[in-house]
């Protein structure tokens, strides 16, 4: 179902075609962000007309609203967005960084406080994978801990934790 074919090389750079169940991606790829299952101000056909072949959606935000179970029940993210082309979901890891004031990290995962209603939500590597599978994206990401690039020592610890979480994600998949 997935295949990558290299079409050109220049030193260490390469270009190619990444084949997914919902179509081919010519790399490098332009991928607009549709955080909450929509690229703001554009229809799916307008996104396609801009040359996009991939849209990125946000696992954390879709989990909170409308909910991954709701999206799954409506036929998955492709149908929900009316985007028949490849989709990528992030893991929720960027929110580990961007919501630093409202989350707690431990070795097993992250507990977030919702910016919508203040409720708490637990993300683990396994849960991130399960949510992304429920959303039905073609490409899903391992749960990671994004960190402040100006704090080298903490970034090293975050990278090591991310590596451990990636191994758990692979097992969960």
What pLDDT, in 10s, does the model give residues 72-121? 999 999 999 999 999 999 999 999 999 999 999 999 999 999 999 999 99
Is the pTM here over 0.85, yes or no? yes
Enumerate the H helices of the chain as residue ranges: 44-49, 59-64, 68-73, 77-81, 93-98, 125-135, 152-172
Beta pairing class for 23-27 and 55-57: unpaired
CA distance 119 to 112: 8
Q: pLDDT class for 1, splitting at 50, 70, 90?
A: confident
Are the beta carbons of 89 and 59 closer than 8 angstroms?
yes
Q: In what order do the strands lie in the sheet with 3-10?
A: 3-10, 13-20, 23-27
Rounded to an integer, what distance in angstroms lies between the CA atom of residue 7 and that of residue 19?
13
The CATH number given to 3-172 is 3.20.20.105
Give yes or no for residue 142 having a pLDDT over 90: yes
Q: Are 78 and 70 in contact (CB under 8 A)?
A: no
Query: Above 90 in pLDDT, residue 157?
Result: yes
pLDDT tops 90 at residue 171: yes
At residue 52, does pLDDT exceed 90?
yes
- Compute CA distances 165 → 55, 86, 122, 146, whole Å: 25, 25, 14, 12
Phi and psi at residue 15, in whole multiples of 5°? -125, 155
Structural domain spans, the chain: 3-172
**Cα angle 55, 77, 57; round to 5:** 35
Q: Give Cα separations from 13 to 6, 27, 28, 52 (angstroms).
A: 10, 11, 10, 21
Mean of pLDDT values over 149-157: 96
DSSP state of 115: T
């Amino acid at each position: 179902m997935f295949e990558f074919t290299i079409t050109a090389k220049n030193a260490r750079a390469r270009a190619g075609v990444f084949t997914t169940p919902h179509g081919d991606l010519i790399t490098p790829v332009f991928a607009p962000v549709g955080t909450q299952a929509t690229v703001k101000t554009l229809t799916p056909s307008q996104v396609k007309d801009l040359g996009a072949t991939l849209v990125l959606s946000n696992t954390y935000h879709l989990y909170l609203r409308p909910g991954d179970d709701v999206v799954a029940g409506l036929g998955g993210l492709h149908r929900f967005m009316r985007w028949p082309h490849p989709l990528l979901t992030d893991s929720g890891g960027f929110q580990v960084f961007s919501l630093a004031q409202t989350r707690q990290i431990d070795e097993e995962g992250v507990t977030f406080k919702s910016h919508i209603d203040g409720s708490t939500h637990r993300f683990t590597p396994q849960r991130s994978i399960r949510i992304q599978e429920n959303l039905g994206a073609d490409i899903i990401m391992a749960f990671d801990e994004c960190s402040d690039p100006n704090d080298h020592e903490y970034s090293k610890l975050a990278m090591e934790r991310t590596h451990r979480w990636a191994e758990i994600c692979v097992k969960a998949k």
